[in-house]
Amino acid sequence: MSKSEQLKRFYDFGPFRVDASERVLLREGQPVMLSPKLFDTLLALVEHSGHIVEKGELMETVWPGTFVEESNLSSSVSLLRKTLGSTADGKSYIETVPRRGYRFAGAVEVMGESTDLIVGRRTRVHVVTHEEEETSPTEIETVRPTSAAYLGNPATWKKRSVIVGLSALVIAVAGVSLGLRYFGNKGANKTFEPFSKLKMARLTTTGRANDAAISPDGKFVVHVMDNAGEQSLWLRHIPTGSDQEIVPSNKDGFLGLIFSYDGNRIYFSSSGTLYEIPVLGGSAKKLLTDIDTAVTFSPDGKRMAFMRGVPSQSERLLIVAKVDGAEEQILARHKLEDAFLIAPSWSPNGETIVFPLRGSGPDAPYGNLREVRLKDGVERQITSQQWSSMGPSCWLRDGRGLVVIASEDQDSNSQIWFVSYPSGKVRRITNDLNDYLNVSLTADSSSLVTVQLERISDIWMAPDGDSNRASRITTNRVAGMGGISWTPDGRIVHASRGSGYQEIWIMKRDGTENKQLTFDSGRNGLPTVSRDGRYIIYVSNRMGTRNIWRMDIDGGNKKQLTHGSDDVSPQYTPDNQWIIYSSAQLKHRTLWKVPIDGGDAQQITNYNSSLLAVSPKDGHIAYAYDDLENLRRRVAIIPFEGGPPTKIFDFPSPFGQAIRWAPDGRALTYTRFPSRSNIWSQPLDGSPPKQITDFKSDRIIWYDWSRDGKDLAVARAGRTSDVVLITDQTAFK
């Protein structure tokens, strides 16, 4: 569509309006935040509503002249579906046409800019154009009127001529207005939107990258490569694509990569020690011990800052030192549970250092960016945005903002964000189904590198729990990521992204007759089937925060059961009367219970505790907690009524793995950290754990035993991670 056509057209469907000239999506008159590429995708589909838009055509429209992977398109469509929700009849606005492309299925009305005259109305099959009152509606195949559309009596021509003349006048006035606005703003550059238009290029293809940093001049990238439990350090020359190993494989690993300001040296930490190495390789020089994050340098390159955890004092410290590690100074100190062990970022003017910190009060589970002034140590929060998890951040060269890695909630992927400074306004740079692990900027802020992580998952069936006889029962690479649960009659309920966003599905034990049960714009997961098979309880964020919901086994009669702050991990008691879950209503996570039919929730624990499993035999509760006195994480078991623990176990990393109760109630089963490739059993009598499965690869993210304890359903996930270069294509930077 030409610019003049965009200027005079709106596209209305359901509660939405697409304003092509202003490039904004409105829901009942209120703006909906979309990235530029998402808007381009939506506009291309809406313009051809009712017709198939081939994938190649759509990709060329959204990313003209740029090589992008098809996954970028599918991710954009998935996010659009989530944003738009469902039509009045419960269907998706965007249909997938297998092996071809996509079709916008909602009824679209094309509106004129100067009036509310309906230019066209589209359905899936045809478009209806409306003329003056004496003219009958005419069905045509495309939105653009052909010459035949103007045939008729002279009176009609005359009226149309008036309309066309008025439209041309409106376009001319709008053009002058836009021209003045364009030239007036060009010099002032009032709108600062870095990376609002970007180009992405993959720099590695091994699928085993783990961390990366780009040199100040943008010519080199250093990255970590995983290899059979060891890591090596590699340097790539971007212009030629040549790679060179600069530090050989070792078991200690590397993290916190960063170039010196002059680009001649690379810094990294290994086993809590900071090292310096020449950019083209050579002997590593030890600089500093007892360091827990990457470092950030002052603008003059003479000082550095980093985070250090002090468990004995339950503190995490922000420390400033000389570049050789001498003359350490504590700039800020926070409680162990409040501060992230993430690298800080020194501002370009040298006056402040920014680091991520968890909030207090009701926002405690969430993180924000915080800055501290070097001259007096005064701190302030620089954005009101709430993030569930946070990663590294980098300042732009002119100090007008930061690029940061963060995720909105525990169900969301880690994305790259831009935080404007000092306003604190935030905007996504990426908006897809991948995770991004780090961020590093060139000196002129024109390019960044990151590690893009893609997770794939399928469900396997192991008869009698025998992994040697296991077979894969799904093949869509997105099944089981959000939970698995057996029904009493041997079917499997699971959370999958098969529809483009995470929903609850049910299928036979062999993977056939897979049926979607939820159709919501939110994210649905962690399903558990009631003991009698009547209900499925699950977690959904469709109301803005994660809460516990219940539905019939066929997906009907959905009902919200809890209304707390971030309610997760629901499980039934053996008598089907209660649901146990953990909630972040207080500053720390605690255990709660709510009746199966809804009602007032009752608190079980008043100390930090995250639900792991409920015994199918006696209702005993297993939960994870931080033992701050002994500085370790533990698993405890308490009766259903609460009270002090009856048993305590030292599990490796209990917060980061799947722990389930064995069907006979005599043991806890778990995936062993760090590989998590197999399931182990820890008998409650305290005898040594034993390995149950013998898978040779992949990571187990979810699993569940059938009700008779004979069969095991396992979601096994693989991952690929590669270094990606993102170049800012925004004009008039």
Write the DSSP string, 248-261.
EEESS--EEEEE-T
Check residue 447 and give its pLDDT.
95
Domain limits, the chain? 3-188, 290-445, 455-657+697-718
Same fold, 3-188 and 290-445: no
CA pair distance 355, 305, nearest whole angstrom: 10
Structure tokens at 476: 């869509």
Block means of pLDDT (10 residues each) for the chain, 733 residues, are 51 89 83 79 89 86 68 76 78 82 87 48 37 29 28 37 42 42 39 84 91 95 87 93 89 88 91 90 88 91 90 86 90 79 92 83 66 94 86 93 87 87 92 88 95 90 92 89 93 88 91 90 87 94 85 94 89 93 82 94 88 90 78 82 87 67 90 79 91 88 91 90 92 47
Q: Any idea what DSSP says for residue 224?
A: E
**Could you tell me which of 226, 234, 272 has the C-alpha nearest to residue 251?**
226
Check residue 45 and give its pLDDT.
92
SS3 of residue 44 by DSSP: helix
Structure tokens at 259: 């170039």
Report the half-sphere exposure of 184 (CA within 13 A, side-chain side).
6
Check residue 629 and give its pLDDT.
66
Check residue 224 and give its pLDDT.
93
Check residue 191 and give its pLDDT.
57
CATH 3.30.559.10 fits 455-657+697-718, yes or no: no
Question: Cα 437 vs. chain centroid, distance in angstroms?
Answer: 11
Q: Do 491 and 709 form a contact (C-beta atoms < 8 A)? A: no
Pick the CATH number of 290-445 from 2.120.10.30, 3.40.190.10, 3.90.420.10, 3.90.1150.10: 2.120.10.30
Pick the CATH number of 3-188 from 3.30.470.20, 3.30.420.130, 1.20.950.20, 1.10.10.10: 1.10.10.10
Check residue 192 and give its pLDDT.
66
Q: Exposed, middle or buried: residue 228 (CB in 10 Å: 0-12, 13-18, 19+)?
A: exposed
What's the whole-model pTM score?
A: 0.59
Check residue 304 and give its pLDDT.
94
CA pair distance 518, 86, nearest whole angstrom: 11
The partner residues of 648 in beta bridges, in order of sequence, read 636
Check residue 718 and give its pLDDT.
82
